[in-house]
Structure formats: C-alpha cells, structure tokens
C-alpha cells in the first residue's frame, strides 16, 4: 500500500516526542508543556512549548495536521484550482537565553490537495547571535551528511534555496547563517518515489536533535554580560521582522486560521527596537553583522 497522509502525519508526530526529550535532557531544567488545539475548519495540533529553562528561554516544537477547504487567497498564491487541502508538519524554533547559543529553526511538512497533488517541504537553518565560523561550518556539514545519502545535488540546491529564502530584503542581510530549505518536492520534480522523498524528509528531521543539542552543549556555559544581551535583543528583533514580513509558513498559518499562539511561538520572549545603539568598533557584534551582510559561505558549498 502506498504511503498515505495518515502514515506521514503519524511519523512526524513521533519526531515531536523524540526532539522534545532530547532538548529537555540538554536543557536540564525546564520541560515542555502541551497545548492541544482544534482548527474550526478541520484538524488541529499539539503545541509543545518550553520556557525559562537553563538553556532555552522559549522554544516550541509544534505538530499540526490540518485539512479542509483551501482559502482562495492561498490557492491563488499557489496557482492552483484545488478545493481541499491536507497539511501536516513539525515546526521548531528555539530561543536560548545565553547569546552564545544560536537560535535554530526546523520545519518538515507534507501538503496534499484533492488527493492527486502532493509535495514535501522543509528545512533547517541556524541564526547565531554571534557567528562562530567553525561551529557554522560544522552545522552545515551535518546538513551535507543528511542530504548526500539521498541525492548528490540536494545540499547545494537546498542551501542556495535557503540563502534566497532566509534573507531580510529591507535590511540587506541574511537572517542567520542559512542552512537548507526546500519546497514542493514531488515525484515529478525529483524523479523519486514518494517513499524516497519521505525518507529524505525523515533524515532531515532526525538530524535536528543531535545537531542542536551539541550546539547547546558547546555554548551554554560561555560567559556573557549586558553588551551580549543587548546584542541578542537586537538580533532577535531582526528575527521578528523576517517572520512577520517574509515567512511563508507564518503567512500560511495566519491565512488558514491556524492557532495564533502556536504560529507565533517563533517570536522571541524579549526583544526590542532601540533607535540609537552603539556596538564596539571591531568587536564580535560588528563582525557578525558584516558576515550577515555579505552572507556566510560555508566551505561545504565551495
């Protein structure tokens, strides 16, 4: 029997559990709370949020499976005539309290319409408040390793896609050091079976926990003071700008009447837009800004 949407949703739901356990273990203090919600038009989700941990100040690992009539606003944007949709996925954003621990985002999703059209999408990208180039190389290498098992071109294709996607146009800077991003992958576009493509999606999902818990572990003990916290608040404000102005997942959630507090769990617990800010000349803050303005280019892509 062919892989169906219920099987995909069930497997994605398992991720949520595994990932929450790994993060709780590395955090060492806080645990995820569960909020289950139902979507009036069909489906719902399990939102799991961690707050005020030793490492994670606020983070969410959200599973959802929603279905129903497709709002015309979305079918129009997607250039489709379909009336019914089914969408399932896991979305993660982690905002750590220590500015030396990077923000991370992961999403894996499956979308189906009128049963004859379907695709996978997703990605992982890293947003360090301070770019540690060695760690960012290592991060990209984990993505290379996940991609290469499935297709020799996936990493370079999807890294380029991420570079284009995670870009804050009005600031002329990248959201972070990028990662991989892909959307609308199906048999037609990839010449692979649904099962093969789902295997790739699972590989991406499975790479998340070991990759991020290592970055938590390596950075959570580092010292920081007022300067680093102020810089973190500033970088987080850029994250808000990206998510509210450009992010398609956020727009999709708002347009399909998803649960608003689950969609916007990606936004940081504390941030701000100060007008006058000075960062030390030649300091780590300016170095990170320079990298984000010119783009971080991992060796893996050279």
Contact set with a second copy (CB under 8 A): 33, 49, 51, 58, 60, 169-171, 233, 237, 240-241, 244-245, 254, 260-261, 264-265, 267-276
Least distance from a second copy to the Cβ atom of residue 275, Å: 5
50-83 burial, b at 16+ Cβ within 10 Å, e below that, comes to: beebebbbbbbbbbbbbbbebeeeebeebeeebe
In the bound state with a second copy, the residue whose beta carbon lies nearer, of 80 and 240, is 240
Residues 266 and 61: their CA atoms lie apart, in Å, by 10
Q: How far apart are CA 129 and CA 236, in angstroms?
A: 8
Q: Minimum distance from CB of 228 to a second copy (Å)? A: 17
Sign of CA dihedral 271, 173, 183, 139: negative
Task: Identify which of residues 13 and 251 has a Cβ nearer to a second copy in the complex.
Answer: 251
CB of 214 to a second copy, least distance (A): 25
Q: Which is nearer to a second copy, 10 or 254 (CB)?
A: 254
- Distance (Å, rounded) from C-alpha 27 to C-alpha 18? 14
Give the span between the Cα atoms of 160 and 178, in whole angstroms.
9
| 53 Cβ contact partners less than 8 Å away, ≥ 6 residues apart | 27, 28, 29, 30, 59, 97
Which residue in the list 105, 140, 150, 234 is annotated as catalytic?
105
**299 closest CA partner among 98, 144, 70, 75:** 144
95 included as an active-site residue? no
Nearer to a second copy among residue 33 and residue 217 (C-beta): 33
Q: What is the signed CA dihedral for 202, 204, 245, 135, rounded to 10 degrees?
A: 160
Nearer to a second copy, 115 or 261 (CB): 261
201 burial level (CB within 10 Å; 0-12, 13-18, 19+): buried
Sign (positive/negative) of CA torsion 156, 159, 165, 168?
negative
Q: Least CB distance from residue 81 to a second copy, whole Å?
A: 23
In angstroms, the CA 62 to CA 51 distance is: 14
Using alpha carbons, list the distances in angstroms from residue 7 to 11, 120, 172.
6, 14, 41
We find the least distance from the C-beta atom of residue 66 to a second copy, in angstroms, to be 15
Q: Rounded to the nearest whole angstrom, what is the least distance from the CB of residue 273 to a second copy in the complex?
A: 4
Catalytic positions are 105
């Amino acid at each position: 029997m062919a892989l169906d949407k219920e099987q995909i949703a069930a497997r994605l739901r398992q991720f949520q559990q595994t990932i929450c356990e790994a993060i709780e273990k590395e955090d060492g203090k806080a645990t995820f709370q569960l909020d289950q919600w139902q979507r009036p038009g069909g489906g719902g989700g399990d939102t799991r949020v961690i707050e005020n941990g030793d490492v994670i100040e606020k983070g969410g690992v959200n599973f959802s499976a929603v279905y129903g009539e497709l709002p015309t606003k979305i079918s129009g944007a997607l250039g489709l005539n379909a009336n019914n949709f089914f969408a399932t996925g896991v979305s993660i954003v982690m905002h750590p309290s220590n500015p030396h621990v990077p923000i991370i985002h992961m999403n894996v999703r499956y979308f189906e319409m009128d049963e004859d059209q379907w695709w996978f999408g997703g990605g992982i990208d890293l947003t360090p408040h301070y770019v540690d180039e060695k760690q960012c190389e290592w991060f990209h290498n984990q993505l290379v390793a996940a991609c290469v098992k499935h297709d020799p071109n996936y990493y370079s294709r999807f890294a380029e896609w991420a570079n284009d996607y995670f870009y804050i146009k009005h600031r002329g800077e990248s959201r972070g050091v990028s990662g991989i991003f892909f959307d609308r992958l199906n048999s037609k576009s990839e010449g692979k079976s649904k099962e093969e493509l789902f295997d790739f999606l699972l590989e991406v999902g499975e790479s998340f926990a070991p990759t991020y818990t290592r970055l938590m572990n390596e950075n959570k003990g580092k010292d920081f003071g007022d300067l680093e916290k102020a810089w973190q608040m500033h970088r987080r404000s850029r994250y808000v700008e990206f998510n509210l102005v450009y992010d398609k997942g956020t727009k999709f959630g708002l347009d399909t009447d998803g649960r608003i507090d689950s969609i916007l769990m990606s936004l940081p617990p504390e941030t701000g837009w100060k007008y006058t800010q000075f960062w030390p000349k030649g300091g780590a803050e300016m170095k990170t800004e320079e990298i984000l303005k010119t783009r971080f280019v991992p060796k893996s892509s050279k």
